[in-house]
Structure 1
Amino acid sequence: MDELRRLSLLLQGGGHLGQESPARRLRHRLRTVATEHPAVYLPFARRKYPGPSPRVIGSGTQVVIDGFTRSASTYAVYAFQVAQQLAGRPLVPLAHHLHAPAQIMTAARRGVPTIMVIREPHGAVLSQVVREPGVDLLDALWAYHRFHEFLLPFRDALVVADFAEVTGDFGAVVRRANRAFETSFAIPGDGADEAYWRTRLIQLRPTLSPVLLGFESGEVSLAAVQEHVRTVLPTARGERTWMPSAERDRAKSALEEAWADPRLDQARSRAEAAYRVFVRGARRAAA
């Protein structure tokens, strides 16, 4: 969906508090609960998402990078895969973008190297509502705290990376993962070529090119993606993120007003507490 279309729906009230239909809200909550149960959700997800992206964990998965939606998982996936390819490493089969506790829990139980991305609830939830204007704020907060509370018992089997660290120094995250899982993945850096392709491929992701999505999952080489970009997508610009400033300011004000609604106090506090506990434990583990 175009960014301006999302904004239009948002300004009409979509995504605010208590304005969605009961049936739609029930479906969202049922899906949230289902994603906590691997035996139920993972077989369903494999049928719904046969590939190449999202990719569900399987017997050949070497790494999992996932987390609650809008927590920089896309950046992490591209930073990781571009670094591996530029270092001349083999393709790395990667499970990602499912945004389901079942995926992360299964990876932890199997001992698969897993980087769980996390973002504070204000940023993650408001970003989700902008992207998915049919999601009620209360339901998004409810899903946020359930996601992170459910995964707390598995935290020590994961490398947890906060949004700022993922987007600011993902190399440090991969170093921690290498230490924790005794792996030797290439460390993402800020070289000009690496930064260019990481950024360019993220910009092009909304084209949903199967070649590009296959690269995310470790099924297509960077060389093949580069050739695809040059020959098939030479003029593609990706999704437009620019918005007129007045509309952007209205959207921000509308969301901030809804975020501060006293009816959200309990859900907001519980989500923020879940985030603090998760990050506090992750920082102790990294020390």
Structure 2
Amino acid sequence: MTTDRPAHPTVYRRVRHRVRSRVSERPAIYLPFARHKYPGPSPEVIGPTTELVIDGYTRSASTFAVYALQLAQPHPVRLAHHLHAPAQLIAAARRGVPALLVIRNPQAVVLSQVAREPDVALRDALGAYVRFHACLLPFRDRLVVADFAEVTGDFGTVIGRLNDRFGMSLRRFEHTEANVAECLRLVALRDSLSPALLGFESGLLSRAALDRELASRPPDPPSETGHAWMPSPRRDAEIERLRQQWQASFTGLWRRADELYASFVRSATAQETSQRRQEPTAMNGRAEEEQWSTS
């Protein structure tokens, strides 16, 4: 198979990527810059009106999480999201703002990123993954953590953990075939960069207003390369080529990335176990209230 992937990313782009990955760890430096660069509606930077932060390393299903969360709610939720910068999550942890960190297996993430962003070298992407998660380790107990498989397969449970951890009352996403299809439809439409769609992500536009806007838009022409936020056969083939080419490379970095991922998986598992223990207690409490209300 032939691809248009450059043999070597340019020095300029490699330096820019490395600088960004380091600066994005520092809220005091990066967040003011991000507010200037991204005035809205998406990505959205944490601010005084933020009700919830949803973020993670790129290619970790944060887009699915954002749409699933908003689709499940009767009213829009003001989200900070899609910055893919640890500074956003660190700021949330320090301020006590509810926050969800989405995580994914490092090999899947890094290969997917490099296949989608040909100007990013694999070593740089892997190093950025390590730095992103390493600087969040001290804050992981102040975040709800959810793995890619759980986000895309049982997001209602993740919303339940957000409610338990932060005292929120978000409506759970029902993981039905129809709901997942609607979520993926919006993910696929994200290529259009529709202001209405991006506003819906951030909680600036209601579902009804979004539906009216989308109904008035002409259909997008078929994409030959696939949607940027969706899997595609072409990208899958490139990922497999990269996996074969780089499988034995950078073993030290891969090992550190796997260790960090495992640490956050343990945090997610501990949070899920805690939630399951609390649910019977909450159910008993509701039963007692019902008993008293009818007596």
Q: Deviations over 1:24-55 (max 9, x none)?
A: 21211111110001110000000000000000
RMSD: 2.2
Structure 2: distance between partners of 1:164 and 1:76: 11
Deviation of 1:218 after TM superposition, in Å, equals 0.1
Q: Structure 1: which 5+ runs fail to align?
A: 14-18
Q: How many residues align?
A: 269
Q: Which has the larger radius of gyration?
A: 2
Deviation of 1:140 after TM superposition, in Å, equals 0.4
Structure 1: distance between partners of 2:236 and 2:194: 32
Structure 2: distance between partners of 1:226 and 1:185: 21
Question: SS of 2:135's equivalent?
Answer: helix
Q: How does 1:1-287 map to 2 (within 5 A)?
A: 8-10=3-5, 12-13=6-7, 19-84=8-73, 88=74, 90-191=75-176, 194-233=179-218, 235-236=219-220, 239=223, 240-241=225-226, 251-262=238-249, 264-287=250-273
Q: Is the 8 A contact 1:155 1:282 kept in 2?
A: no
| Aligned residue type for 1:231 | S
Structure 2: distance between partners of 1:227 and 1:9: 38
Deviation of 1:238 after TM superposition, in Å, equals 7.1
Q: Percent identity?
A: 51
| Aligned residue type for 1:254 | R
Deviation of 1:192 after TM superposition, in Å, equals 5.8
The 1:237/1:174 distance shift into structure 2, 3 A limit, reads farther
Bigger relative contact order, structure 1 or 2 (CA pairs below 8 A, ≥6 apart)? 1
The 1:124/1:22 distance shift into structure 2, 3 A limit, reads same
The 1:156/1:248 distance shift into structure 2, 3 A limit, reads closer
| Aligned residue type for 1:197 | E
Question: SS of 1:195's equivalent?
Answer: helix
Q: Deviations over 1:168-226 (max 9, x none)?
A: 00000000110011111010013465334322211111000000000000001111111
Q: Is the 8 A contact 2:102 2:147 kept in 1?
A: yes
Task: Please name the residue that 2:291 is paired with.
Answer: none
| Aligned residue type for 1:66 | D
Structure 1: distance between partners of 2:65 and 2:93: 18
Structure 2: distance between partners of 1:26 and 1:79: 35
Question: SS of 2:25's equivalent?
Answer: coil
Instruction: Give the alignment's TM-score, normalised by structure 1.
Output: 0.88
| Aligned residue type for 1:40 | I
Deviation of 1:77 after TM superposition, in Å, equals 0.2
Q: Is the 8 A contact 1:203 1:237 kept in 2?
A: no
Q: Is the 8 A contact 2:155 2:175 kept in 1?
A: no
Q: Deviations over 1:237-279 (max 9, x none)?
A: 675528996x6675244201233133x1111111111111121
Structure 1: distance between partners of 2:226 and 2:194: 19
Task: Please name the residue that 1:16 is paired with.
Answer: none
Q: Is the 8 A contact 2:197 2:210 kept in 1?
A: yes
Question: SS of 2:4's equivalent?
Answer: helix
Question: SS of 2:54's equivalent?
Answer: strand
